[in-house]
Structure formats: C-alpha cells, structure tokens
Amino acid sequence: MKVSVLLTISASASAASVGVPQNRQKAVLHRRQQLDDQLGYLTAAAPLLKEMKPSKIVNLQAKSAFPGAKRIKVYYGPFHVPGQNAPKLPKEANPMSLDPNSFAWNNWISGFPLDATYLEQSTGLELENGSIATLETGIYNHHLAYVSSKKFSPDFAQCAGQPAKKTRTPSTFAGATQEKGDAIFSTPDLKFKSGFYMGADDKIVATGELVNYANDTVSVFAVTETEYLPGKPEGFKDVVTEVFSVNQCDGGNLALRPPPGQLKYSLKSQNMTILHDGYVLGRRAHLHDGGEGLEFWVNDKLICDSKAIYGGPTGTRKSADGKVWETMSGVKECVDPVQVKKGDSVRLEAFYDLIKHPT
C-alpha cells in the first residue's frame, strides 16, 4: 500500500556557543538528541506526570472557511520565573533542565480538544498585563513544547549507506523557542486539506524551560492561539513535525562546533534519501547565535533558503554597562507545499558567521 505522509520539516543546526548574556557564554545549547530523548521519556511517563489545567480558554472567530472550524486561545500559568537575585534552585528541583540557570516544568496538559485536526498554532509568553514577554523584560525562552504522547513522527529520510533508523520521535504539535512560536499544518491561507490530527485517547505533554535575566521574579503565561476542526475530516492528510539536522548522519558527535580556526564557514549534511511520498509544508531553520541561514535542497532544487534575522524588539538587549547586543529573533520560513517522492534526495547546508554575530 502506498504511504502518504505529509511532513513539516524543521531543519536544524546550531553554533557551538552563544553570545547571549553573562552566564550563557560557551554553553553548548544545541543538544537535539538530548531533547528528543527527553521528549521520549516524558511522553512515556505521561501517565505519571501531574495534570496542568489551562488558567483560561478564550473563544475567537475562526479564520478558515472549512465548516466547523474553531479558534481558541489557551492560557497556562502564571509561571513565576525567579530572577538573577533569587537563590538558585537545587539541581534536583529541575532534573531535566538543559540550562543551569533555568526554570522548568513538565506536565500533562488538559485544555486542548482531542479527536481534532489542528490547522495552525501560535505560541508565546505573555506577562500578567498581557504584553509579550521579551528579552527586554528579562525572559529568554529556552523551549516550550506541547507534544503528543501517542503520535510519533516516522523518519523522513535515510542516511546513505546506513540502515533506516525506525526511531520513534514524539510528535510536537505546539510550542515556541526564543526565535519562533508558530506552525501551520496547512498553507497560510488555511485552504490546503491537511492538519495535525490529535487522537481521542492522546495525552498531551508540556515541557517548558525559561531563563529570567532580570533581577526580580517575572510572572508569565504560556499562551497558544490555535484553529482546529473537530474529528478527522474526509480527505485531510495528517501532518507530523520533524527535526532534521545537518549532522544527523554523522553519528555520536551531536554538538555542532566550528571547524578549527574558522569563524565564517558552512556545514553540509550528507545526501539522504526520502522515505515516503508526501508533501513538505512549513520549513525553517533552527539556529543559534552565529548562524546566518540554512539551505534545504530536494534533488537539485532549493526548496527553502531560511535566513536568520537578528535584533528587533524581541532580540535586542542592553547590559548593565550600557552595551547593546542583538540575538537572533527569527528565521525566514518557507510555506509553499512541495511534493516529494520516496527515493528523492535531500540535503542541508548551514551557514555561520561568528565575526558578524560574535559569541
């Protein structure tokens, strides 16, 4: 039988170190495997986690023309994130945190409708007064992810000369990092018949990790606006999200480091072979400071040139001595559906300039 899988690819790559504040220096932030493993443990442990209920759900006007479409805004929190002057939490209080200065939580969450096909989601952090929580207010979003504990993403591609991995990566359906917080499981006009189906028996797991660079505690809500269709409408393709990395064929060495002595360079993935017929929908780079962009090639066609965006209101911060620095605040996203076939060749190339974006 022919498999028809629809894929949202989040191509992934990162620099070895970041130039954000004081105590973040030289941290190797990108540990894809670690986060994947963590999501695996978390989703497996879903029945043991505590429930987190939404603090509020607001009904909004649907944007899609599909019959029955509903749009809601779901709030969790407030989370009281301790500032730099607060006593450090003992490590045991945060066993799964990836950053030594962070505030983290892991729960299963109620509030999002089950047996529903999600068309898009947008997640962010809001202060108690409704303003967006930015780096200027002290808050750095290390990650915030809502993950299905019943749905797994099939491997998108196979590395040349290696057996297919048959990994079971939990499927993330909503979430945000510092640079990005939305995903469209259709096309931006919400006309393409596809969506992220969340089964009736699913248990959604939330994992969040924030850093507060301000001195005092900052209270934030995690807020998701989403649109969905009840059930699984006829003719809709199911979407999964995938993380796909430049070094995913290279075995154990997961932290990406600059080639010795080089500050401006690119990292190329090996050529890989696509394993399913389907479509690639939204796709974008995941880079850390120093990254300039990421190219995503299928056969000999560039299907996304996802360039990094620095600065702006969410990526500019002034240190105590008045020095202003810019962190990455976004990446270009590509959204036109690209049809792919089993056997197509795929590769990535990530570009870095550590002179322009010093670490």
Ligand X SMILES: *[C@@H]1O[C@H](CO)[C@@H](O)[C@H](O)[C@H]1NC(C)=O
Q: Are 194 and 185 in contact (CB under 8 A)?
A: yes
> Using CB under 6 A, which of the segments 19-27, 52-60, 104-112, 125-133 binds ligand X?
125-133
Question: In the window 51-110, what residues touch ligand X (CB under 6 A)?
Answer: 85
Q: Which of 129, 234, 260, 324 binds ligand X (CB under 6 A)?
A: 129
Can residue 187 be called a binding residue for ligand X (CB under 6 A)? Answer: no
Smaller CB separation from ligand X, 17 or 329: 329
Q: Are 203 and 46 in contact (CB under 8 A)?
A: yes
82 vs 296: CA distance, rounded Å: 39
Smaller CB separation from ligand X, 234 or 300: 300
Can residue 201 be called a binding residue for ligand X (CB under 6 A)? Answer: no
Q: Across the strands, what pairs with 307?
A: 293
Q: How far is the CB of 7 from ligand X (least distance, A)?
A: 19
In terms of Cα–Cα distance, which of 273, 331, 260, 271 is closest to 14?
Answer: 331
Can residue 131 be called a binding residue for ligand X (CB under 6 A)? Answer: yes
> Using CB under 6 A, which of the segments 124-132, 205-213, 242-250, 334-342 binds ligand X?
124-132
Can residue 339 be called a binding residue for ligand X (CB under 6 A)? Answer: no
Question: In the window 205-224, what residues touch ligand X (CB under 6 A)?
Answer: 215
Question: How many residues belong to the site for ligand X (CB under 6 A)?
Answer: 11
Q: Which of 300, 301, 321, 324 binds ligand X (CB under 6 A)?
A: 300
Q: Are 6 and 278 in contact (CB under 8 A)?
A: yes
Query: Hey, is 134 helix, strand or coil?
Result: coil
Can residue 127 be called a binding residue for ligand X (CB under 6 A)? Answer: yes
303 vs 43: CA distance, rounded Å: 32
175 vs 205: CA distance, rounded Å: 11
Question: In the window 147-176, what residues touch ligand X (CB under 6 A)?
Answer: none
| Residue type for position 347 | R
328 vs 308: CA distance, rounded Å: 7
Integer CA distances (angstroms), 187 to 69, 195, 227, 349, in order:
15, 10, 13, 25
Q: How far is the CB of 136 from ligand X (least distance, A)?
A: 8
Q: Are 256 and 16 in contact (CB under 8 A)?
A: yes
Structure tokens at 311: 């600065």
> Using CB under 6 A, which of the segments 129-137, 174-182, 233-241, 248-256 binds ligand X?
129-137
What residue ranges bind ligand X (CB under 6 A)? Answer: 85, 127, 129, 131, 137, 215, 271, 299-300, 345, 347
